[in-house]
Chain A
């Protein structure tokens, strides 16, 4: 498998996402420029979104791929035209925005703001519209739960709930209408670095600094599977096609300086049902911060601390192999 190397970012990559069709790949990094790439045909860079004054921590894209929303450490979230890269709207907050998620009906967007200067971390449910000319910065709900930064706060299922993972290792579920926290489960011994919802919308996976990833039932918040590694897990994604998951990780940020000179940061594939490791893909020379499967499951992308994004078209053998 020859990866396609997307070298455009200049700082550690923070999130990679595909659009619904899987022909576009959006990447965010600690530099100020989110980027969009062609997910096929050689991975050409289509454009960058210039304007933020701080690191980009989280991104989301509308289902029609018209608009990208970005959350930044510059205390703002912005809406961009994918076609042309023009900023069309801006939300301002008092704190860095750590997570962006558009509701399934695209009538709202959830922004998680992190803790800074005595501001409590909060999930802001803001009005959203696919027509930026009619858009106003209007908060319709405020969700407060963990007293630490939330790494992800995502709409679930049909959009009734928000699920969030936080640095204290808790996973919480909120009812958006009432604003109530309806579940708070601590199953991880370390902070949650990533949370992704399964393509089937009934599971989600958490990646934790406790060196594990866990597969959850969204409905009753129970743990279905645990995937153990020997390094902190920064990101985890569920394959839409195979019974596989992919994990990316490496050392804690505080340990990165002691990293050895040898290349040893692998994306690791685990069997979702057996919980056993089935393969590794090397290449990164820094910890892997973000992984994502394409919607068809034939491709996956990883983004590293060393700022490189690697896009992998999985080999034929990967799909035909007997994993039993």
Chain B
């Protein structure tokens, strides 16, 4: 069964690969049988832009032997097909014949597209490449005790993978020194672990973390998995000036380019130069860090898109061609984001002349503008989709009347309603909004806002996914120094945190809130923390200190959902802490409901299991310690003679015998009352505080 499935997959892959290597050339001259040879001779050198594949060039003929105006070309490599598309599409053979070229893969799609648009065709036709992996439960999700995994990168570039275990302590699955040259990352859905090396990216997976694929890319510094992790994008971070491009070639990939790979096969599919923005914008001499990710992926891996000057370029997979062979021209476009669930792009453009700034929803691939909203006096817009795709929030920062102050409001699009109606949430002028976070499940969000520099209010709001005008303030936690809201992936619990750099005052303070009950449920501190992150299941949250941010106190603390610390680990040097992501929930709504119904039963079961484990660990640890004590006693016994010998010898010295004693009471020359000392210390402490 497994075998036939893999054979089937192999066949499909081969077929797909052949599709990607071939092009269809339209609009070639139609000639009769007699002129066929001549036409072939005329066309061949033009179509042969690179090494040809098995099938080479085929000019289609009808039943009479006349050519139909169509030719098929198969190349050795998909890159050549891509280039042929570029070179040949629009090529003028003569006055009447301008060639039109499409990739066979695209043609295949075009042919299979029905006249009427069927939405289900999009949903059902998942990208098959990894279909098996997606449907069968990966072994790491099948843990008996449903534990989470995490990886750390620590001293000696050692990568270690653990089962997180709050009951008996985390269990190390594997550890390898120098497993990476710099860092490691999990793939989007958690199936792969990628390690960065000077020569490229290595991808590991399976229960033993075997090496699955290598992606050679000299000096790679950036990597990104697509949403369904079918594709990997790598980049060295080098931006080049226009004109510095390397000449197109089939077998040479410029290391400076950003490369899109197919994860399953390890094949590079397409590569792109990244141009220096300073030169593009004319702002020379200004060092700007590279923008990453360069591409944003659609939720189903069918498209990836890149922001350009006045354009968004949407590419299709697996052909890697531009959608509709044209970039989408959007004058002034500043930023865009894919919906996390639908093939919809949201973007915004600033005010230009008399026309207002706009936020638009664009459907892909139809390029139909679903909704647009005009906005005035806009300084900036930040787009944030809700994870379930139900809402899109736009944080709009506007200039006040005299342009002195800025103020913020939120335009929230309802994505599941007809015509995409909008709710608006406004904040006072002068009030700064430093964070906006959607509750991953549920219809709430949290905002940190305030006029003061150091203190801000944290407010929670709820809304209705089915109708507008129901945006409601729930409650506010006033005057706090928090900078971020971290919702549990399951919703309901929001963690307020100030975490960034340990040198900042009140860094590493946390409060957990049950937003449904409006209740503070937990408090914790980890002053030296530089990062904080929930695990994928929403049961644990980890605060950690990495070496890049802070040299001392490296390590991590893990808290449960109500802020109780369940683990604390110190390390000499820790570079990364990475919870393993999980794919979306496998349970159906019905199953989930069932679990909730029987929660009490499950809870008891789990508690009993945990207690048993704890007990066995306690007795195990006690035995281990008894052993250590015995060994120590044995060791000390071997030293007994030596101790005795030293003691005897020291006694011989007869140093400091009784009659040498002096009465210390007499030497008192100065006596300071201890109370005063305490006061002085307090003063020192206070003055220290004032200084800060």
Contact = CB atoms under 8 A, between A and B. Distances in A.
Interface of A: 4-8, 20, 23-24, 38, 42-48, 62-66, 82-85, 104-106, 157-159, 200-202, 210-211, 217, 219, 224, 228-232, 243, 251, 255, 258-262, 264, 273-274, 285, 306, 308, 324
Most buried by A among B503, B504, B570, B655: B655
A47 B666 CA distance: 12
Contacts of A5: 677-678, 681
B552 A231 contact: yes
B642 A6 contact: no
B625 A274 contact: yes
Nearest to B632: A273
Contacts of B507: 260, 262
Nearest to A41: B674
A202 B644 CA distance: 11
Contacts of A104: 649-650, 653, 655
Given A66-B662, A105-B653, A158-B649, A7 B681 contact: yes
A253 B440 CA distance: 45
A230 B570 contact: yes
B684 A7 contact: yes
Contacts of A47: 667-670
B553 interface: yes
A23 B662 CA distance: 12
B124 interface: no
Interface in B616-671: 622, 625-626, 628-629, 632, 635, 639, 642-643, 645-647, 649-650, 653, 655-657, 660-662, 664, 666-671
Contact of A258 (B503, B554, B626): B503
Interface in B287-318: none
B593 interface: no
Contacts of A24: 664
Nearest to A230: B570
Nearest to B689: A261
B650 A228 contact: no
B134 interface: no
Given A43-B674, A273-B628, A260 B664 contact: no
Given A63-B656, A202-B642, 15 more contacts: A38-B664, A45-B670, A64-B662, A83-B666, A83-B667, A104-B653, A157-B649, A210-B572, A211-B572, A231-B552, A255-B551, A260-B507, A261-B505, A261-B692, A264-B527
A260 B503 contact: yes
Most buried by A among B507, B554, B660, B689: B660
7 contacts: A7-B677, A46-B670, A47-B669, A83-B667, A261-B692, A274-B625, A285-B685
B479 interface: no
A20 B661 CA distance: 11
A229 B555 CA distance: 10
The 5 closest A-B pairs by CB, nearest first: A63-B656, A158-B649, A64-B656, A230-B570, A64-B660
A66 B667 CA distance: 11
B502 A260 contact: yes
B211 interface: no
A324 B669 CA distance: 47
A202 B667 contact: no
Most buried by A among B629, B653, B661: B653
B571 A230 contact: yes
B672 interface: yes
Contacts of A285: 685, 688
Nearest to A217: B639
Nearest to A24: B664
Given A20-B656, A200-B643, A324-B625, A158 B650 contact: yes
A274 B552 CA distance: 24
A84 B667 CA distance: 6
A279 B656 CA distance: 36
B371 interface: no
Nearest to A82: B667
Contacts of B625: 273-274, 324
Interface residues of B, number: 55
B409 to A, nearest CB: 36
Given A62-B656, A64-B661, A273-B632, A202 B639 contact: yes
A62 B661 CA distance: 11
A274 B622 CA distance: 11
A231 B642 CA distance: 35
B528 interface: yes
A233 B352 CA distance: 61
Contact of A260 (B527, B551, B639, B661): B527
B680 A201 contact: no
A245 B629 CA distance: 16
Interface in B28-43: none
A231 B553 contact: yes
A46 B507 CA distance: 42
B553 A66 contact: no
Interface string B591-632: 000000000000000000000000000000010011011001
Nearest to B570: A230
Contacts of A273: 625, 628-629, 632
Given A6-B677, A273-B628, A274-B628, A229 B643 contact: no
A47 B671 CA distance: 8
Contacts of A243: 632
A4 B678 CA distance: 8
Contact of A42 (B635, B642, B674): B674
Contacts of B572: 210-211, 228, 230
A262 B552 CA distance: 14
Nearest to A275: B628
A24 to B, nearest CB: 7
Given A64-B661, A211-B572, A228-B570, A105 B655 contact: yes
Nearest to B574: A230
Nearest to A189: B572
Nearest to A262: B527
A234 B119 CA distance: 69
Nearest to B628: A273
B667 A46 contact: yes
A177 B227 CA distance: 74
B655 A264 contact: no
B670 A308 contact: no
A5 B675 CA distance: 9
A6 B678 CA distance: 8
Given A202-B639, A285-B688, A251 B552 contact: yes
Contacts of B664: 23-24, 38, 46, 65, 83
Nearest to A308: B681
A290 to B, nearest CB: 17
Contacts of A23: 664
Contact of A65 (B646, B657, B662, B681): B662
A195 to B, nearest CB: 18
Interface in B548-578: 551-555, 570-572
Nearest to B655: A63
B671 A44 contact: yes
A287 to B, nearest CB: 10
Contacts of B639: 200, 202, 217, 219
Contact of B553 (A43, A64, A200, A230): A230
Nearest to B639: A202
A106 B555 contact: no
A210 B674 CA distance: 37
Given A105-B655, A158-B650, A251-B552, A66 B677 contact: no
Most buried by A among B527, B629, B669: B669
